Amino acid sequence: MKIAPVFLELKQREIPQILVHTGQHYDANMSQVFFEELGLPVPDIYLGVGSDSHARQTARIMVLFEEVVRKHRPDLVIVGGDVNSTLATALVAAKEHIPVAHVEAGLRSFDRTMPEEINRVVTDHLSDLLFTTERSGNKNLRKEGISPKRIHFVGNCMVDTLLKHVNVATERSPWQAFGVQPSEYALVTLHRPSNVDDPKTLRVVMSSIKEVSRRLPVLFPVHPRTRARLATEKIDIPPGVSLADPLPYLSFIGLMAKACFIMTDSGGIQEETTMLGVPCLTLRSNTERPVTIERGTNRLVGTNPKEIKRNVGIILARKWCRGKRPPLWDGGAGRRIADVIEASMAPKYIKLKWNS
């Protein structure tokens, strides 16, 4: 969702690209199907790293990606988001003296217990072009001593992808597969280690989900990590909660667009619900996307059952804020990123043309 708008825009401008898929997300519905639904070609290179500890996964990506870089010697490596693949590929490129462009730069939760926060900070300081989604990102980067010349406020590629596909997604009526009606169900996602790996916290969160299910049906596409923990801890699933495997992108955004509200610990979903105007209860005590709280429909509730119950009551009473679209969340982020990349690479293309 983050790379597709950039890839397609650069392709339209006939700028040569090699698409590398690390395989960090190995479930078909969390990976392969995205290429199909977003109109991306089959990746030129698939590293197939799979799941592992942070250190081993990052190291394996680095070893394999180093071979790619040394073989192809790209003029620029574009990375997106804050996962281990982001950090690993940026680090390899920097050590090989190849410029790095970071899509979704500058986001900060200021919580170093989150692996994603470490990935964000290190990647940003390795990058030559930093593309921010909200103005807080520019401020964070300047505070960390990064030159304003490297920072480009371009908007949100996730929004580009959402706006392009949401109408088709809702036309498919994915809620019918669960036997529910639009606006009459809650949608849940849960995958962060802080919520899933601690048995006590997981039980508290599931207890709150159970309470919600007494008021309206709950649809719960389960991340593989979460499903494993639920099984290990032998946590019972209440009758009002429908578990599902991870969903294809279009099915999920269709469900999200017509949900009564969403409970999540995902960063991207905080952004998407802000655009869709759907109430979002974020099961965290912090967010790296403050604009979703300042202008959107997002609220931090942590894992406090009383706070969750109180906010669910506000939503069901139809007293939730409507939210406003953040600046530059207009579907043009991919184009703006491509403009900067094309301009930064212009001298090379002029030289190639002259030599030919």
For the cut 70, the answer to whether the pLDDT of residue 27 exceeds it is: no
- Give the pLDDT confidence score for residue 225 in this predicted structure: 85
pTM of the model: 0.93
54 part of the active site: no
Q: For 251, which DSSP code?
A: H
Token pair belonging to 23: 């395989």
Average pLDDT in the chain: 93
Q: How far apart are CA 67 and CA 234, in angstroms?
A: 43
Q: Which of 97, 165, 191, 223 is catalytic?
A: 191
Does 281 map to a domain?
yes
169-216 tens-digit pLDDT: 999 999 999 999 999 999 999 999 889 999 999 999 999 999 999 999
- What average pLDDT does the segment 36-44 reach? 83
Residue 218: domain span: 168-316
Instruction: Give how far Cα 332 sits from Cα of 12, 106, 337, Å.
Output: 14, 19, 9
Nearest to 263 by CA among 228, 214, 213, 227: 213
The CATH number that applies at residue 144 is 3.40.50.2000
Helix residue ranges per DSSP H, 84-175: 84-95, 115-126, 135-143, 157-171
Give the chain's domain count. Answer: 2
Residues 130 and 8 in one domain: yes
Residues 189 and 266 in one domain: yes
Q: How far apart are CA 159 and CA 168, in angstroms?
A: 15
Does 161 map to a domain?
no
Tally of helices (H runs) and strands (E runs) in the chain: 15, 12
Range from 34-38, 244-248, 350-354 carrying the lowest mean pLDDT: 350-354
Does 192 map to a domain?
yes
